[in-house]
Amino acid sequence: MYIFAKMNFQMAKKVSISDIAECLGVSKTLVSLVINGKAEQYGINAQTKKRVLDKVEELNYRPNLLAQGFRTGKTNTIGVIVSDIANRFYSRIARKIEDLAWKNGYSVVICSTDENVDKELQQIKLLQERKVDGLIISSSQLDAEFFNTLNDAHFPHVLIDRRFENMTSSSVVIDNQSGAQMAVNHLISQGYRKIGMISITPQHISSIRERVHGFYQAMELAELEVNPLWNIDVPFDNMENEIRNSLQQLHSQHNLPEAFFTLNNNLTSTCLMQLRELSVKIPSDVALIGFDDVLYFDFTNPSITAIEQPVDLISEQAFNLLLKQIKKNDVTKEERSICLPISINIRESTIKR
């Protein structure tokens, strides 16, 4: 098999549809129809069909994908736009999407936005010009209006991880609010009362906003006070320094809360590092729970409790929704807005001894 494939490869010369036609003394049309599986539909003679197919095999014909794409406007390529493909959450999603795409004959073009709107916009435009058949996108800071326009133009696309109010586009997100509540309630059940939160700006990103909302709601329901000093808000591009400074200050004032809830895996890792640096004991001095679980939270010191997102499911649902649009199947109002449940992995960082 391997050797055979390799041979095929070497031979890959440029044989076109008209070469086949000429060889066989038939028309290009016929060849095209057979190749595209429309033989039956057009009532083409079974023998003729076989002759074509055999010749295709013999000459090892491979269609010129560019010509095909040019002609049809279809490229069998989809675009994936996220803030940073090196972030573990997104790289896992990308991997899963790539697998599904491969199985369905699609290639995947990847773009990282760095949470930059202009870059994101340029990337969407470029991908459209490249005539990708669809887009799966975790949008930084565009808005409902923008995607609605895209939707009205019937350009297949699915938003993941983040979405906008009053948006008619398809989307797959997770239940951020419940996730945050689950996190806070777990802390409360362990007896923590003074709870702080470390979040990231820009805060209008829906996933962040909903997590923040969930936090406040859970605190309110438990009739716990939210101390603004314990709510640390850091910018996307200077996380580490800002977290260090804030924690140092609280620590020197002997004013750390009993627990921190961090809003994504990067914040969690950074927070862990900085607390260790300050020799703050986890969880005895300060407990730590994070949104978004990653493999290594299992063997850090201490291991870290985290809210887990169903990465594979997100990818699958998003891909299915996209494929549906590409195949021109209607996506009903009910189908197009998917919200998936989260779960919690409880580990040492929140267990009171």
Partner DNA sequence: GTGAAAGCGCTAACAC
Partner DNA sequence: GTGTTAGCGCTTTCAC
Q: Which of 16, 32, 91, 345 binds a copy of itself (CB under 8 A)?
A: 91
DSSP 8-state assignment for residue 333: T
Phi, psi for residue 118 in degrees, rounded to 5: -65, -45
122 binds, among DNA, a copy of itself, none (CB under 5 to 8 A by kind): a copy of itself
Restricted to residues 263-322, the positions that interact with a copy of itself (CB under 8 A) are 269, 272-273, 276, 295-296, 298-302
User: Which residue, 143 or 335, has its beta carbon nearer to a copy of itself?
Assistant: 143
* Cβ atoms of residues 26 and 50 within 8 Å: no
- Assigned token pair, 339: 């919200």
Residue 343 and residue 262: Cα distance in Å, rounded?
Answer: 16
Q: Cβ neighbours of residue 59 under 8 Å, at least 6 residues apart? A: 15, 19, 20, 23
User: Which residue, 219 or 271, has its beta carbon nearer to a copy of itself?
Assistant: 271
Residue 295 and residue 306: Cα distance in Å, rounded?
Answer: 11
Restricted to residues 159-188, the positions that interact with a copy of itself (CB under 8 A) are none
Q: Which of 33, 56, 124, 136 binds a copy of itself (CB under 8 A)?
A: 124
Instruction: Print burial letters for 269-295: b (CB count within 10 Å at least 16), e (below 16).
Output: bbbbebbeebebebbeebbbbbbbbbe
User: Is position 45 an interface residue for DNA (rule: CB under 7 A)?
Assistant: yes
302 binds, among a copy of itself, DNA, none (CB under 5 to 8 A by kind): a copy of itself
Q: Cβ neighbours of residue 231 under 8 Å, at least 6 residues apart? A: 196, 197, 199
Residue 68 and residue 71: Cα distance in Å, rounded?
Answer: 5
User: Which residue, 154 or 254, has its beta carbon nearer to DNA?
Assistant: 154
- Binding part of the chain for DNA, among 66-74, 96-104, 145-153, 228-236 by CB under 7 A, reads 66-74
Q: Which of 30, 200, 219, 289 binds DNA (CB under 7 A)?
A: 30
- Find how far residue 325's CA is from the centre of its chain: 18
Residue 334 and residue 338: Cα distance in Å, rounded?
Answer: 8
Between the alpha carbon of residue 246 and those of residues 255, 261, 269, the distances in Å are 11, 15, 15
User: Which residue, 48 or 91, has its beta carbon nearer to a copy of itself?
Assistant: 91
Q: Which of 65, 221, 339, 351 binds a copy of itself (CB under 8 A)?
A: 65
User: Which residue, 33 or 80, has its beta carbon nearer to DNA?
Assistant: 33
User: Which residue, 129 or 330, has its beta carbon nearer to a copy of itself?
Assistant: 129
Can you give the binding site for a copy of itself, defined by CB under 8 A? 1-2, 5-6, 8-10, 12, 62-67, 69-70, 73, 75, 77, 84-86, 88, 91-92, 94-95, 98-99, 102, 107-112, 117-118, 121-122, 124-131, 146, 149, 269, 272-273, 276, 295-296, 298-302
Q: Which residues bind DNA (CB under 7 A)?
A: 14, 16-18, 25-30, 32-33, 35-36, 42-45, 48, 63-64, 67-68, 70-72
